[in-house]
């Protein structure tokens, strides 16, 4: 059953400027034709807000999705956590065609009530995270540059669907995400930048790049490493640092959106992650 999304009319498509990637060497940052293509898909999204338009993708864009999918799927089969794999099966993405955000949102809404809504790029963390309390995930509709399919410093539809979407079919994960959203909204309301920074870091090292113990092995539940070839390999590389999850340790770190991850945090269970999210919610109360 579809959710009514008219409540999103209260929110603008974007209140703040998007995070820029022009300072990077990523091919998609400086290819004018590619930036114009991204801008076109963003403009299509703005015109339909708060609804999701039907996007028309090129053969080259579908080919990029297909290439990444063919490489990622076997790696996910080996290294992704059970909840992710179950969610991936429920959503049943095409291997060869970029799925339509609206169709995937419809499937998610029927499973857990979680919905997708379009966005044009990397949002301010307060604006982005606060939407999670409403069971809303803002998603970019464009796909990464075809010359570099293995990593992208900006979110794209591979990251959103191959990375994020399957976990939002897992009810405990949805509840934890809503708690993050509530905490972020309170921090914004109180103008508590320090707390909002901590919430953003917690989100980054769990929802985006989290690892979890499962049947005696380290498995992936984070969207960045499940939705990115380079990040998945790094997160499973024994030479890359892994630490037990801890708010005090996370608090000391910073985020570099343009570079591969240097450290990953391992949780004992989703219950442990939920308890930490509850702690953040309590700090924001």
User: What pLDDT does 174 receive?
Assistant: 97
Q: Rounded to an integer, what distance in angstroms lies between the CA atom of residue 136 and that of residue 8?
A: 9
- For residue 261, the 8-state DSSP code is -
DSSP code string of 167-179: GGGSHHHHHHHHH
> Other C-beta atoms within 10 Å of 198: how many?
20
Residue 233 has pLDDT above 80, yes or no: yes
Q: Tell me the domains of the chain and their CATH numbers.
A: 27-284 (1.10.800.10)
User: What pLDDT does 259 receive?
Assistant: 81
- The proportion of the chain whose per-residue pLDDT surpasses 70, expressed as a percent, equals 100
Q: Residues 6 or more apart from 53 whose CB is under 8 A from it?
A: 44, 45, 47, 102, 118
Q: Give yes or no for a contact between 202 and 247, defined as CB atoms under 8 angstroms apart.
A: yes
Q: Which helix (H) or strand (E) covers residue 211, if one does?
A: strand 211-214
User: What pLDDT does 32 receive?
Assistant: 96
Residue 127 has pLDDT above 90, yes or no: yes
Q: Residues 6 or more apart from 201 whose CB is under 8 A from it?
A: 250, 251, 253, 255
Alpha carbons within 13 angstroms on the beta-carbon side of residue 222 total 27
Nearest CA among 166, 238, 239, 236 for reference residue 207: 166
Sheet containing strand 263-267, strands side by side: 217-220, 211-214, 263-267, 241-244
Residue with tokens 């024994």: 238
What does the pLDDT look like over 155-203, one tens digit per residue? 999 999 999 999 999 999 999 999 999 999 999 999 999 999 999 999 9
Q: Which of 10-14, 17-21, 211-215, 252-256 has the lowest mean pLDDT?
A: 17-21
- For residue 10, the 8-state DSSP code is G
User: What pLDDT does 55 receive?
Assistant: 98
Relative to beta strand 263-267, strand 241-244 is parallel
- For residue 23, the 8-state DSSP code is T
User: What pLDDT does 190 receive?
Assistant: 96
């Amino acid at each position: 059953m579809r959710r009514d999304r008219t409540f999103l009319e209260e929110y603008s498509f974007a209140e703040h400027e998007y995070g820029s990637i022009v300072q990077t060497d990523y091919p998609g940052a400086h290819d004018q034709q590619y930036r114009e293509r991204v801008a076109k898909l963003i403009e299509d999204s703005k015109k339909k807000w708060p609804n999701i338009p039907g996007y028309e993708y090129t053969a080259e864009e579908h080919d990029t999705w297909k290439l990444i999918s063919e490489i990622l799927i076997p790696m996910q089969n080996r290294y992704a956590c059970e909840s992710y794999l179950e969610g991936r099966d429920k959503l049943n993405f095409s291997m060869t065609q970029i799925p339509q955000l609206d169709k995937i949102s419809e499937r998610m809404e029927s499973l857990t009530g979680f919905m997708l809504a379009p966005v044009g790029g990397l949002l301010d963390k307060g604006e982005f995270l606060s939407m999670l309390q409403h069971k809303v995930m803002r998603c970019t509709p464009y796909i990464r540059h075809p010359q570099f399919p293995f990593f992208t410093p900006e979110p794209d539809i591979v990251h959103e669907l191959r990375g994020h979407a399957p976990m939002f079919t897992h009810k405990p994960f949805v509840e934890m995400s809503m708690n993050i959203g509530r905490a972020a909204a309170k921090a914004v309301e109180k103008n508590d930048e320090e707390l909002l920074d901590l919430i953003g870091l917690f989100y980054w090292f769990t929802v985006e790049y989290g690892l979890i113990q499962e049947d005696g092995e380290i498995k992936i539940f984070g969207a960045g490493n499940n939705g990115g070839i380079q990040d998945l390999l790094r997160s499973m590389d024994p030479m890359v640092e892994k630490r037990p999850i801890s708010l005090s340790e996370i608090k000391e770190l910073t985020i570099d959106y343009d570079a591969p991850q240097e450290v990953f945090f391992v949780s004992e269970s989703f219950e442990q992650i939920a308890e930490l999210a509850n702690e953040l919610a309590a700090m924001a109360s």
